[in-house]
């Protein structure tokens, strides 16, 4: 198993959600790209972090 923390920054608001753009680590390609989060959860947050755990079978 491996874990990765992916960071996102505010990009824009849509009707019911907030769009965040991934901030890739220097020299690497984005893992997820854009992320849409519902406004009720995102609130006024300008940055988000998501931890992804990859489980190898």
Domain hosting 10: range is 2-54
The percent helix, strand, coil of the chain (3-state, each to 5) is: 5, 55, 40
What is the pTM assigned to this prediction?
0.86
User: What whole-number distance in Å separates Cα of residue 6 and Cα of residue 23?
Assistant: 8
> Is the C-alpha dihedral spanning 14, 51, 30, 27 positive or negative?
positive
pLDDT mean across residues, the chain: 94
Task: Note the pLDDT of residue 2.
Answer: 87
pLDDT > 70? residue 57: no
State the DSSP H helix or E strand holding residue 56, giving kind and residue range, or none if neither.
none
**Mean pLDDT of the 13-38 span:** 95
Task: Note the pLDDT of residue 5.
Answer: 94
**Mean pLDDT of the 14-31 span:** 95
Number of domain units in the chain: 1
User: What whole-number distance in Å separates Cα of residue 13 and Cα of residue 6?
Assistant: 20
């Amino acid at each position: 198993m491996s874990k990765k923390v992916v960071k996102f920054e505010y990009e824009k608001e849509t009707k019911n959600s907030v769009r965040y753009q991934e901030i890739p680590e220097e020299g690497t390609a984005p893992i997820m790209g854009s992320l849409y989060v519902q406004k009720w959860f995102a609130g006024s947050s300008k940055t988000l972090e998501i931890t992804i755990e990859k489980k190898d079978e």
